[in-house]
Amino acid sequence: MEMFERFLDGYCNPENELFNYICKLCEKGLEKCEKEKDKISTIGEWEKTASEIRKGFIKSIGGLDFEDSELKVEYKGDIDKGKYIIRKVIFQSLPGFYVTANLYVPRKIDKPVPGILFACGHSKAAKAEPRYQLAAIELALNKMVVLVVDPPGQGETIQMPERHDIDWGVREHSYIGLTCSLAGMNIARYFIHNLIKALDFLCSLDEVDETRIGVSGNSGGGTQTSYISLVDKRIQAAAPGCYLNGRRQYISRGHAHDSEQNIYDCMNFGLDYGDFISCFAPKPFRILSQQYDFFPIEGTMYSLEQARKIYSLYDSSDNVDIVIDKNMHGLSDVLRDGLVEHFSNVFSPEAEIQKENPQTYLEDEKSLWCTKTGCVIGEIPDARPLDEIVYADFLESRKCEAGLEERIEKVFSINRTPVKPLEKRINPVDFNGFKAMKVFWQNGIGISNAGVFIRGADSAAITYMLFENGTLEMEKRQDEILERLELGSVFVLDVSGTGAVKGAKFNNAPYYNMYGTMHKMCNDLMMCGSSLMELWINDIILSTLVNEGKKEIAAYGKMQPAAAIASLVCDGISGLVLPGKGIDYSKIMKCRAGFIPELEVFGFSKYIDYDELIAKLKELGKCR
């Protein structure tokens, strides 16, 4: 039995309010940055802006100031392909963090040639994925040295091979990515650092001309290409595929990003997709796009247009272009031809591009392995998985010197003195013999909150009950509610996006699962410098003004962190009860708990020790 009928008993439609709010929040930040960029008229003005964007990006991913470590390059065998050799390489990116790669070296070169770093997209085979092999083969046949690198979670660098509950690739990325977000960083910093070390290796080779270094990759590899091009000045030409589009165009499509693509606060410090191109100016940059991609081609064209304005400041408009194939997401033959042509024209314009069928050179996956088992974890004795490295980095970066409330303010923007809303109380109903009233109101940002007020014997004492699915759980939670009604009244609260004000489903993944509707909204809020938990904290504080009486909160599951923080900072909350096992941040930080997107709060664990928070509430007599 649902207490509210749909659309809050027909009074209003809350189903798109949260999503629309997030879209407007994104657009507000983007519009501000766009207006500032539109004023730029000189190279000096742009380079100052580009420097700020680059610094903002590096800060938002948690920095790239890793302790320097030896590459410890090991060659694990060669495959002689006649016109080129494939060398199997393992190098160390961080102490105990090993990267597997294939190095394609052309035969019959009498002087250093261009070096191309190829970043793999989301394929389990990674460097052995046929489409990525074909790109490397054609580049090698055109006298370029190519280094194809396995990213974390793919190929031979799957980080959690023993975990049957966490699949390879983007699933690993999301689990470790959640830990990174809580630690105030982004998993992208480890992807980028791997590529920086790969460039160190590539540039050290006698066969490579370090003044002619290019980078390419498709999909997730397109993301990595964009990132490394932004931060490493050694890159002289870039060609990312199937990634660059426009933030405004992408946000409204309903697709969730991969964890490494969700850059904290990027909507506000000016990092649109086009800035990866513009910040590369005036060096040659080619976008590789599929017209039928889930990444909107309209956004890609917008970014290209914006980038051309910057390139024109350098009189280098011809140095940025695009190849579009009419196909779905993926590195097609057309896009591969585009990237080979790009690097050939940039680095060897006098040479004729060699056309040969690359299919005849393909290798099977195992033949390209650098390890015996196909995974560095478990084979190399001192190999450390990324989740352990991230956890160790988190422990080193924790900031718990200041007072707890001061640290909370670093993570959340909290309105401690909200204005009492003009709530509506409608359609009384019976709840197991108790009179219940439906209540709803608009919070301070135009999103509906709701609740069911059930009058108990003592109306001066109210228990606010925060279930994970709000009022939608009232039927299955009858016993707990009735138990509370013996102590006083009960108010079952629906904060933003829960219960009767739950948002409409807008993509194909299950609503609360990875890449589902809730995951998407939490990702986008983070890119706006906010979080769903921040909204919930403010909703809870505001809700205390809706009812008169002494208020205690009983919060369940993922509602508990928001309730705990609200209870600490709000004088209108006299007590907090946390039934059940609750949230164990120590397990989450070690990737040993279920994935809960609503907990993705940038810097939460860096600044807030959840156990300390609960201990403080107990010390104040507010938690039992």
For 570-592, what is the mean pLDDT?
Answer: 94
Which pLDDT does position 399 carry in this prediction? 87
Structure-token pair, residue 117: 């770093």
Provide the pLDDT confidence category of residue 165 given band limits of 50, 70 and 90.
Answer: confident
Which residues make Cβ contacts (< 8 Å) with residue 542, sequence separation at least 6?
415, 418, 421, 443, 444, 449
For 436-458, what is the mean pLDDT?
Answer: 94
Q: Is the pLDDT of residue 164 over 90?
A: no
The count of other CB atoms within 10 Å of the CB of residue 427 is: 15
Structure-token pair, residue 102: 């294939």
Task: Read off the amino acid at residue 312.
Answer: S
Closest Cα partner for 115 from 205, 53, 2, 5? 205
Which pLDDT does position 381 carry in this prediction? 95
The count of other CB atoms within 10 Å of the CB of residue 354 is: 13
Rounded to whole angstroms, the Cα distance separating 14 from 364 reads 53
Rounded to whole angstroms, the Cα distance separating 581 from 3 reads 27
Q: Where are the beta strands (DSSP E) in 138-297?
A: 145-149, 208-218, 237-241, 285-290
DSSP three-state, residue 463: strand
For 225-248, what is the mean pLDDT?
Answer: 97
Q: Is the pLDDT of residue 302 over 70?
A: yes
Closest Cα partner for 545 from 456, 408, 416, 354? 416
* 15 sits in which H/E element: none
For 214-230, what is the mean pLDDT?
Answer: 98
DSSP three-state, residue 92: strand
First to last CA, the chain: 31
What's the pTM?
0.96
Strand partners, 289: 324
Closest Cα partner for 464 from 579, 577, 557? 577
* Alpha-carbon dihedral angle through residues 421, 424, 425, 426, given to the nearest 10 degrees: -160
Task: Read off the amino acid at residue 570.
Answer: C
Asked if residue 103 lies in contact with residue 147, where contact means CB atoms within 8 angstroms, the answer is yes
Closest Cα partner for 17 from 442, 526, 537? 442
Structure-token pair, residue 436: 């219940």
Rounded to 5 degrees, what are φ and ψ at 366?
Answer: -65, -30
Asked if residue 417 lies in contact with residue 571, where contact means CB atoms within 8 angstroms, the answer is no
* 391 sits in which H/E element: helix 386-397
> Strands 424-431, 434-442: parallel, antiparallel or unpaired by DSSP?
antiparallel
The count of other CB atoms within 10 Å of the CB of residue 104 is: 26
Asked if residue 394 lies in contact with residue 609, where contact means CB atoms within 8 angstroms, the answer is no
Asked if residue 270 lies in contact with residue 244, where contact means CB atoms within 8 angstroms, the answer is no
The angle, 0 to 180 degrees and rounded to 10, between the axes of the packed helices 517-527 and 532-543 is: 90
Which pLDDT does position 624 carry in this prediction? 79
Asked if residue 377 lies in contact with residue 159, where contact means CB atoms within 8 angstroms, the answer is yes
Rounded to whole angstroms, the Cα distance separating 612 from 448 reads 32
Q: Quick one: DSSP state of residue 623? A: B
Q: Is the pLDDT of residue 457 over 90?
A: no
Structure-token pair, residue 281: 């100016």
Residue corresponding to tokens 């003195």: 417
Asked if residue 232 lies in contact with residue 199, where contact means CB atoms within 8 angstroms, the answer is yes
Asked if residue 88 lies in contact with residue 75, where contact means CB atoms within 8 angstroms, the answer is yes
Rounded to whole angstroms, the Cα distance separating 284 from 245 reads 18
Check whether the bond before 106 is cis (ω within 30° of 0). no
DSSP three-state, residue 97: strand
Asked if residue 198 lies in contact with residue 191, where contact means CB atoms within 8 angstroms, the answer is no
Q: Is the pLDDT of residue 93 over 70?
A: yes
Question: CA angle, 26 as apex, 23 and 32 as ends, to 5°?
Answer: 135
Which pLDDT does position 1 carry in this prediction? 65
Give the up-direction half-sphere exposure of residue 245: CA atoms within 13 A in the CB hemisphere.
25
> Strands 448-454, 434-442: parallel, antiparallel or unpaired by DSSP?
antiparallel
Rounded to whole angstroms, the Cα distance separating 514 from 498 reads 17
Structure-token pair, residue 262: 């969700």
Rounded to whole angstroms, the Cα distance separating 605 from 199 reads 33
Are 69-347+355-397 and 417-619 in the same CATH fold? Answer: yes
| Domain layout of the chain by residue ranges | 69-347+355-397, 417-619
For 325-343, what is the mean pLDDT?
Answer: 98
DSSP three-state, residue 49: helix
Provide the pLDDT confidence category of residue 581 given band limits of 50, 70 and 90.
Answer: confident
Rounded to whole angstroms, the Cα distance separating 146 from 396 reads 36
Fold of 417-619: Rossmann fold (3.40.50)
Q: Is the pLDDT of residue 459 over 80?
A: no
* 24 sits in which H/E element: helix 17-38
Which pLDDT does position 306 carry in this prediction? 96
Number of H helices, E strands in the chain: 21, 16
Asked if residue 453 lies in contact with residue 439, where contact means CB atoms within 8 angstroms, the answer is yes
- CA torsion through residues 286, 62, 406, 599, sign: positive
Rounded to whole angstroms, the Cα distance separating 330 from 87 reads 26
Average pLDDT, the chain: 96
- C-alpha separations of 247 from 239, 266, 527 in Å: 19, 10, 10
Residue corresponding to tokens 């015996």: 372
- CA torsion through residues 253, 256, 261, 265, sign: positive
The domain covering 69-347+355-397 belongs, at the CATH homologous superfamily level, to Alpha/Beta hydrolase fold, catalytic domain (3.40.50.1820)
Residue corresponding to tokens 């977000």: 181
Residues making up the chain, counted from first to last: 624
Closest Cα partner for 308 from 35, 52, 46? 46
